[in-house]
Amino acid sequence: MHKPILIIGACGQIGTELTIELRNKYGSDKVIASDIREGSEALMKSGPFELLDATNYAAIEDVVMHYEIDEVYLMAAMLSATAEKFPMRAWNLNMNSLFNVLNLAKDRKISKVFWPSSIAVFGPNTPKENTPQNTIMEPSTVYGISKQSGERWCEYYFKKYGVDVRSVRYPGLISWKTMPGGGTTDYAVEIYHKALEKGAYECFLAENTKLPMMYMDDAIRATINLMDSPAEHIKVRSSYNLGSMSFTPKEIAKSIQKHLPGFQISYAPDFRQEIADSWPSSIDDREAREQWGWEPKFDLDQTTAEMLKNLRK
């Protein structure tokens, strides 16, 4: 029987699907969802929920003790576009929440931690194509700086205190159940909604901006596989590169036009263009593949088919 799991930030884009998948796998009462606000009806009905502020150590500790939590997935974060507007709030949320969870693990109150990093750890001086696991990073966004610092702290807590912390660098994630919020890759979700609602979409990135992306089912499978892998297989304790597909706004529009021939895309790049331009176009994820068997299943056209089918419902 699996020991209880706590998801912090369970109502966000990743947290919602992760919570439901972990509940299917381990049983509803074994997975405690928590967030600063309530989530979708489907999530709220699927099992126990606690209102919880990820920056409040004492409140997290109370929940951990009450439910005898063994593993924590820390999904609360401020994403790239919003973080540029509120740099200090982003830094405080992204770093303090991580320290809270790492310190609980250091004091042996929990035994395993998942913390998401991002392709945002890379910067304008990083090789753009097939970006290696270890390379120049120098992130130029507040969000990227917080994620890179977080990676350093994760590795430090593993090496110094033996904390079993695991992480992946998520690319842009595409899902139909919960909207993303405040990211630079959000266009790749909005576009499907607008294609069905209006038959047209004005994209905030330029037509040839190629970014790494992933369908949510693949991201959830990667996350759970990494957490289930034997500790000795996990050689990277900062965060793993995780690749799947890469495409531009023009290419996703073409994929949508195969289902909706009249769909129109136009382009009005805003401040998010500079963020996107600083990120890789594609990712070398050899280490994740070799060490814990990562393999993506969804390409762009399969993602489009799934998105349109489910959003139509």
Shortest distance, position 16 Cβ to ligand AKB, whole Å: 15
- 181-194 b/e with 16+ CB inside 10 Å = b? ebbbbbbbbebbeb
The answer to whether 73 contacts ligand AKB (rule: CB under 6 A) is: no
Q: For residue 4, give the DSSP letter.
A: P
Q: Is 118 in the site for ligand AKB (CB under 6 A)?
A: yes
Per DSSP, helices labelled H in 120-279 are 142-161, 187-197, 216-228, 249-257, 272-277
Out of 26, 57, 73, 143, pick the active-site residue. Answer: 143
| Shortest separation between residue 118's beta carbon and ligand AKB, angstroms | 3
Contact range with ligand AKB by CB under 6 A, out of 86-94, 115-123, 259-267, 293-301:
115-123
Centre a 10 Å sphere on the Cβ of residue 298 and count the other Cβ atoms it contains: 20
Contact with ligand AKB (CB under 6 A): which of 131, 185, 223, 278?
185
| Closest among 46, 37, 55, 52 to 91, alpha carbons compared | 55
Q: Which tokens sit at 269?
A: 């790049």
Distance, CA of 179 to CA of 197 (rounded, Å): 15
Stretch that binds ligand AKB, among 112-120, 148-156, 160-168, 263-271 (CB under 6 A): 112-120
Size, binding site for ligand AKB by CB under 6 A: 11
Whole-angstrom CA distances from 42 to 179, 217, 289 are 14, 17, 33
Residue 170 binds to ligand AKB (criterion: CB under 6 A) = yes
The answer to whether 67 is a known catalytic residue is: no
Contacting residue, 5, 90, 119, 189, with ligand AKB by CB under 6 A: 119
Residues near ligand AKB, by CB under 6 A: 79-80, 118-120, 143, 170, 172, 183-185
Cite the active site residues: 143
